[in-house]
Amino acid sequence: MTRLLPILVLLSAGLARADEGMWTFNNFPSALVQSRYGFSPSPEWLTKVRLSAARIASGCSASFVSATGLVMTNHHCVRDCVQQLSTPRNDFIVKGFSAASAPQERQCPAMEVNKLLEISDVTDALTKATQGKEGAAFRDAQRAEIARLETACATAPDVRCDVVTLYQGGMYNLYKYQRFQDVRLVFAPEEAIAFFGGDPDNFEFPRYDYDVAFVRVYQDGKPAKVDHWLRWSAKGAQPGELTFVAGHPGGTSRLLTMDQLRYQRDYALPERLFQLAQMRGMLDEFQQRGPEFTRISNGLKLGIENAYKVLVGRREALVDRDFFTKKMAEEQKLRDWVKADPERQKRYGQAWDHIARATDTLRAMRIRLRLLEQGAGAGSDLFGYARMLARSAAELSKPNELRLEEFSEARKPELEQQLFSPAPVYPKLEEALLTFYLTKLREQLGVDDPVVKQVLGKQSPQTLARKVVSGSRLASPQVRRQLYQGGPEAIRASKDPMLELVRALEGESRAVRKRFEEEVESVIDQQGELLARARFEAYGTSTYPDATFTLRLSFGQVKGYSEDGKTVEPLTRIAGLYERATGEDPFRLPPSWLQAKPRLDLQTPFNFVSSNDIIGGNSGSPIFNKDAEIVGVVFDGNILSLGGEYGFDESVNRAVSVHGQGILEGLRKVYNARRLLEELGQGGGG
């Protein structure tokens, strides 16, 4: 624990210090950057960067790097696409992929890329719609207004609009994106080099990963033309250099109340860790059955191992006594400010108590909520398709403002892309996941629970899982499309066993979701708005909101750090890759890198660290200099940064990136990717 958390630096009096902050583009502290680094990003600079950044809707970041729609991100951000395009005889995960010509670029079955076009403030509209309302009425009014705003904004299928909650509800922005759903794979290295070092090296530094990939967005069957993209730096990242990261951090919890943090520490995190450990054990056994079992499940296993390590880091932050004491002091300071004035106490004083009661409600219902709604199916694709179909039958016939949010008109293009995806479904993996899920359902709700009786009857989890997977036709995208286009009648008339399973859960699942939204989520949303207003009144808006998987800009510099009394240098070099290689997984180099060693400049920088404030979701973010030139691509944080969910410590929190020069060296001398190098403006020689 002491190794993981030296003591995180928190916000003091609401003001971000040092290189801290995941800043929105409409509230970026250019003056602060000027005071620290002598460079003030102009409005024009910010616009260029914003329009050059991209988001991969499945949970990653990216950037445009050419005028013809070329997008750079991480290998692990396109891994699902690479896996879905692979077969047992042609496994691109193992051997990599490189399109030598445009016709060889392969369409990803279910990938969406977004570019942020506009940001508008809709706080007044949301505040007016929910004024004077509480509980279910508050939630219904808020949902209806969000649906109205998003639908009015999304004027075409290639436009995506999201209302984004900032500062725990103190501010609402409407983000308008250009949506690209024709995304094609251009280049992905072998996973052995993209994730060199595997789980032992994950969140560590020094690192030696070539975690980079390129895709291209298409419009009307042709490469998309873009007006803004980031060019390549001639030198790459230099020690001490000012760096920026434009990406989409998935979520942080730096503004949660102490009651919410205690819930995370004592319930949510330990229980999620236990579940992940069990799933990892299940997959370990699954992979013992043979190489094909490993191939079809390895992506899921890597994700579980990554999530486990992340959540361990978060919990260690919350069990660190000094850190938790500082969080308590931070909250108490705001409470004391509220209490000091009777009018402020009247406006804001009860918010903490309301959130505490809502958190108690969540604690009491958490297991049922997780099993029946939020974690139902344990990741089974067939279960997910069945639930989308069953709920679309119920939701799409309702007025837009009354639907579940994922079925709103503004979200239909995303829903339909997922539902009609031609990605392969693996029956044996489906059986394993559903068996795991049904076993946990019975174990945690109890044999006598009415839902368990209705779902399982006299069958064992394994028997039911095998029956519904083998009998389902939902693995076929054509079948799913026919059912969806047939409307509610066709879906309700279907006797597909996976649909029957979902229907058996649906009544209780919807009930627990409704209770959560009305008694927990709406209360926390409403009271969070009050606390945000209190913070604004006390401290102003000179700080950043929690991350929300929306575009943010952070600043920092290339620099090392100290860990356990040792100095960690900011750069690694290709020579270190070969020194670290053992010939055994996960330190086994692919043949391409072994053969290329005599051609490589072994002193070329390979990976580096910087003090940019990042979190999960920033994977694939471009890291660039003050001239908006790419110096690398972010792929990880160091292990000391995992507590960044709750606070930031500039002295040790580090973003980990692939160095721009290392990327080029690999493209030239390992992969001979001449076409790609020319498009990046780097020539194809070497």
DSSP lists the bridge partners of residue 659 as 632
Ranges in the chain annotated CATH 2.40.10.120: 25-112+181-253+545-679
Per-residue model confidence as pLDDT tens digits over 281-309: 999 999 999 999 999 999 999 999 999 99
Q: How many CB atoms lie within 10 A of CB 591?
A: 10
The answer to whether 283 and 428 have CB atoms below 8 angstroms apart is no
pLDDT of res. 439:
98
pLDDT of res. 543:
85
Mean pLDDT of the chain: 95
Tell me: pLDDT of 457 over 80.
Answer: yes
Task: Please give the single-letter amino acid code of residue 357.
Answer: R
Tell me: pLDDT of 130 over 60.
Answer: yes
Tell me: pLDDT of 18 over 90.
Answer: no
Task: Please give the single-letter amino acid code of residue 141.
Answer: A
HSE-CB for 98 with a 13 A CA cutoff: 18
The answer to whether 72 and 622 have CB atoms below 8 angstroms apart is yes
Question: Judging by beta carbons within 10 Å of its beta carbon (0-12, 13-18, 19+), is residue 598 exposed, middle or buried?
Answer: exposed
Nearest to 77 by CA among 108, 51, 116, 103: 108
CA distances, 238 to each of 72, 563, 570, 609 (Å) = 21, 21, 9, 11
The matching CATH number, chosen from 2.40.110.10, 2.60.40.10, 2.40.10.120, 2.40.420.20, for 25-112+181-253+545-679 is 2.40.10.120
Per-residue model confidence as pLDDT tens digits over 89-111: 999 999 999 999 999 999 999 99
The answer to whether 95 and 654 have CB atoms below 8 angstroms apart is no
Mutual angle of helices 291-319 and 321-339, in 10-degree steps: 60
DSSP 8-state symbol, 23: B
pLDDT of res. 540:
78
pLDDT of res. 10:
33
Tell me: pLDDT of 541 over 80.
Answer: no
What percentage of residues in the chain have a pLDDT greater than 90?
Answer: 95
Band (17; pLDDT cuts 50, 70, 90) = low
The C-alpha atoms of residue 226 and residue 187 are separated, in whole angstroms, by 20
The answer to whether 177 and 51 have CB atoms below 8 angstroms apart is no
SS3 helix, strand, coil % of the chain, rounded to 5? 50, 15, 35
The C-alpha atoms of residue 21 and residue 11 are separated, in whole angstroms, by 10
Q: How many CB atoms lie within 10 A of CB 571?
A: 19
Per-residue model confidence as pLDDT tens digits over 355-389: 999 999 999 999 999 999 999 999 999 999 999 99
Mutual angle of helices 427-445 and 381-395, in 10-degree steps: 70
Tell me: pLDDT of 251 over 70.
Answer: yes
Tell me: pLDDT of 136 over 90.
Answer: no
